């Protein structure tokens, strides 16, 4: 199959007027071989390789059922935009495929809520005009997905028309036959190529494959983000707003179900009393780790709330009702109750290997410390898994990403496929590094300025002052990536007096900032972690990428602290196996915003002196493409002015 995949890729590239890239060909051949021989493959494909074609084409020609899971809905849409052209080309060469894109419940209009909304729209004015347009679009054949709506939809309006996975009763819903989410899932289950996202795949794992159905292989794009997504899909999030929202939901529903006023009063007083006790406990927690299982008064409050939710849920289930609108509301409330009871139960009967902590809000979260067991069960281990991203190695090694996800041994050759049920090691994996085709050595520079270390009091002002000088030398055209909101405001404030337009994260939505940054070529965008990945600005608008410091995980973050403890208990270096891989890959992601095409050129600036003084500095620098390193400030300024 590798030869077939290579020929198919050539046909697609030629049709699209592209150039043959040997790295892309190598990737496609290895992916094809992994699918055919049922092997695991971890592939780092540098920026510009064209990795999406490198895995899509072999997936299509494999004639197997393949799921592609990427990190965001935006990337799903990008793949969906390319697929019709790819499929048409390959169909002419004898390779046909059915494909589908599926997202989470909240991306789709809810048929039940539309039915309820329609009964309420007696006077259609203002925001309801927007609602009517969306509903009529769906009634006229639209697929009900928010991003495909004929008008931009506000978050407030969409919340009136959609629901979360916690609310959705799925096939049990009275409106399931008309549901856009169910239609998308049905289409996906019938398709041979499915495009989903990491979180949805995590939900599929949790449901034992009930969402996506059986498949022969899975490809994870942007795999450096997979661990976080899987942790999120398994963990819980509990807020005071979620508790109050459930209470408000059942308050109106009990009346609609005809529960007598005296009974409603009794049940709701008990519910609000238990909620208030749990809320008081949450509000009194300090930010940081929460020890589980909880005991004493908080445990009693949680158990009372759990029992009260169960009692009200049983009461609602036992009421006979014929109104389909009320039935739909009850089904959603019942689903909410089930999730809430399950999450409350974790607080008094915790899941082994999970950590719990409180964040500002207050928000209580739990997460598994590790997802390394996710793929270690026998069916998953025997399903070929391809992990790919531009940033997977640390100092040339794949050990960190393999350990995170539970793969066992890197091998140079796999002569036997993973079909033997007695295979003693089904989690062996092969690795491939495909270098970027971009000429970093001649078109990019890495500047390591001589500044204080980030712990020094004057470091922040020194970075801001340097940013001002380099921005002037570059004529704007700068993306400044910070590790804190304080740094964003400090640097943005320092630049406000310059002759360039300063775009600051938080002032406008992310999409607006990126659009303006691309349009105004001499502008400067100052942002934090949300812009370190997924920013693709080609050409003169981005000639300078400045990173204020290496983004190590916070030492007081409970989840990362638990991961360090687990690493130490396993006999590993906590820093080398936990902190360094995350910092190195995020640094590489941020630096990767600079060169996005063959014609791009510019400078990356890393304002963290530790890269020059600490033993781990070379490991982080080695995650970047090879380029000429500058340490002289005057030389850096002159280079930017020369651009």
The domains located in the chain, with CATH, are 2-97+192-216+383-434 (3.40.50.300), 106-174 (no CATH), 236-368 (1.20.120), 440-642 (3.40.50.300)
Q: pLDDT over 90 for what percent of the chain?
A: 83
**Quick check: 254 and 309 in contact, CB under 8 A?**
no
d(CA 116, CA 324): 9
Sheet holding 502-504, edge to edge: 502-504, 524-527, 478-481, 544-547, 602-606, 444-447, 628-630
pLDDT at 565: 96
pLDDT at 129: 77
**pTM for this entry:** 0.93
Cβ-count burial of 521 within 10 angstroms (0-12 exposed, 13-18 middle, 19+ buried)?
Answer: middle
pLDDT at 122: 44
d(CA 112, CA 96): 36
pLDDT at 249: 94
418 pLDDT exceeds 80? no
pLDDT bin (cut points 50, 70, 90) of residue 414 is low
* Digit-coded pLDDT (tens) for 115-130: 887 666 544 444 467 8
| Mean model confidence pLDDT for the chain | 93
Pick the range with the lowest mean pLDDT from 86-90, 381-385, 414-418, 626-630: 414-418
pLDDT at 422: 63
pLDDT bin (cut points 50, 70, 90) of residue 415 is low
d(CA 453, CA 63): 54
**Quick check: 399 and 619 in contact, CB under 8 A?**
no
pLDDT at 267: 97
DSSP state of 523: -
- Antiparallel, parallel or unpaired: β 288-289 and 354-359: antiparallel
What are the start-end ranges of the E strands in 107-241?
193-197, 217-220, 236-239
d(CA 384, CA 66): 10
38 pLDDT exceeds 60? yes
Pick the range with the lowest mean pLDDT from 9-18, 107-116, 379-388: 379-388
pLDDT bin (cut points 50, 70, 90) of residue 379 is low
Pick the range with the lowest mean pLDDT from 114-128, 227-241, 307-321: 114-128
Cβ-count burial of 370 within 10 angstroms (0-12 exposed, 13-18 middle, 19+ buried)?
Answer: buried
pLDDT bin (cut points 50, 70, 90) of residue 131 is confident
pLDDT at 424: 64
484 pLDDT exceeds 70? yes
Pick the range with the lowest mean pLDDT from 152-161, 293-302, 542-551: 152-161
pLDDT at 126: 46
Question: What are the residues whose beta carbons fall under 8 Å from the beta carbon of 520, sequence distance 6 or more?
Answer: 501, 541
Over residues 209-226, mean pLDDT:
95
pLDDT at 290: 93
d(CA 73, CA 66): 18
d(CA 238, CA 290): 13
pLDDT at 17: 87
- Antiparallel, parallel or unpaired: β 502-504 and 524-527: parallel
Please list the residues that pair with 505 across neighbouring strands: 508
Q: How crowded is the C-beta side of 434, counted as CA atoms within 13 Å?
A: 27
pLDDT at 236: 94
φ/ψ bin of 597: left (φ > 0), alpha (ψ from -120 to 50), beta (otherwise):
beta
Over residues 102-116, mean pLDDT:
93
Cβ-count burial of 155 within 10 angstroms (0-12 exposed, 13-18 middle, 19+ buried)?
Answer: exposed
**Quick check: 632 and 596 in contact, CB under 8 A?**
no
């Amino acid at each position: 199959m590798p030869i077939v995949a290579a020929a198919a890729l050539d046909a697609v590239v030629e049709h699209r007027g592209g150039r043959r890239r040997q790295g892309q060909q190598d990737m496609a051949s290895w992916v094809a071989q992994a699918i055919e021989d049922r092997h695991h493959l971890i592939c780092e494909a540098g920026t510009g390789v064209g990795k999406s074609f490198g895995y899509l084409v072999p997936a299509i020609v494999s004639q197997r059922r393949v799921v592609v899971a990427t990190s965001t809905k935006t990337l799903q849409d990008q793949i969906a935009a390319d697929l019709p052209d790819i499929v048409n080309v390959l169909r002419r060469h004898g390779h046909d495929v059915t494909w589908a894109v599926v997202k989470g419940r909240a991306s789709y209009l809810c048929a039940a809520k539309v039915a309820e909304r329609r009964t309420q729209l007696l006077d259609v004015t203002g925001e309801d005009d927007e609602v009517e347009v969306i509903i009529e679009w769906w009634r006229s054949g639209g697929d009900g997905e928010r991003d495909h709506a004929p008008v931009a939809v506000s978050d407030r309006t969409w919340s009136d028309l959609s629901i979360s996975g916690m609310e959705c009763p799925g096939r049990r819903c009275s409106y399931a036959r008309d549901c856009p989410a169910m239609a998308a899932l049905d289409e996906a289950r019938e398709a041979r190529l499915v495009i989903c996202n990491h979180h949805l795949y995590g939900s599929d794992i949790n449901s034992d494959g009930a969402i996506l159905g059986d498949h022969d292989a899975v490809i994870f794009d942007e795999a450096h983000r997979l661990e976080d997504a899987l942790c999120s899909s398994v963990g819980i999030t509990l807020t005071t707003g979620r508790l109050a929202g459930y209470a408000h939901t059942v308050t109106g529903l009990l009346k609609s179900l005809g529960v007598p006023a005296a009974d409603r009063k009794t049940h709701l007083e008990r519910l609000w009393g238990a909620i208030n006790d749990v809320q008081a406990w949450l509000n009194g927690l300090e930010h940081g780790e929460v020890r589980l299982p909880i005991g004493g008064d908080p445990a009693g409050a949680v158990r009372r709330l759990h029992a009260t939710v169960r009692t009200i849920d049983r009461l609602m289930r036992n009421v006979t009702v014929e109104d389909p609108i009320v039935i739909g509301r009850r089904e959603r409330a019942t689903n909410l109750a089930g999730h809430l009871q399950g999450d409350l139960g974790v607080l008094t009967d915790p899941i082994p290997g999970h950590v719990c902590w409180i964040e500002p809000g207050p928000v209580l979260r739990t997460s598994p410390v590790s997802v390394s067991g996710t793929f270690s069960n026998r069916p998953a281990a025997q399903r070929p898994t391809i992990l790919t991203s531009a940033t997977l190695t640390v100092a040339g090694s794949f050990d960190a990403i393999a350990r995170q996800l539970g793969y066992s041994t890197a091998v140079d050759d796999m002569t036997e496929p993973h079909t033997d049920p007695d295979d003693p090691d089904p989690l062996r994996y092969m690795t491939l590094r495909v270098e970027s085709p971009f000429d970093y050595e001649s078109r990019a520079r890495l500047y390591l300025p001589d500044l204080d270390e980030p712990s020094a009091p004057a470091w922040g002002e020194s970075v801001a002052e340097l940013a001002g000088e380099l921005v002037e030398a570059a004529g704007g055209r700068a993306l400044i990536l910070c590790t804190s909101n304080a740094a964003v405001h400090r640097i943005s404030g320092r630049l406000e007096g310059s002759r360039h337009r300063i775009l600051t994260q938080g002032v406008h939505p992310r999409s607006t900032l990126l659009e303006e940054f691309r349009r105004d070529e001499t502008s400067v965008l100052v942002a934090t972690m949300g812009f370190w990945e997924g920013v693709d600005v080609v050409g003169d608008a981005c000639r300078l990428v400045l990173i204020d410091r290496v983004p190590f995980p916070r030492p007081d973050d409970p989840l990362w602290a638990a991961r360090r403890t687990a690493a130490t208990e396993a006999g590993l270096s906590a820093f080398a196996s936990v902190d360094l891989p995350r910092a190195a890959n995020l640094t590489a992601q941020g630096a990767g915003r600079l060169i996005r095409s063959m014609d791009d050129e510019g400078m990356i600036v890393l304002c963290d002196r530790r890269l020059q003084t600490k033993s781990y500095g070379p490991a982080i620098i080695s995650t970047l493409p090879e380029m000429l390193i500058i340490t002289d400030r005057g030389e850096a300024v002159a280079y930017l002015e020369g651009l």
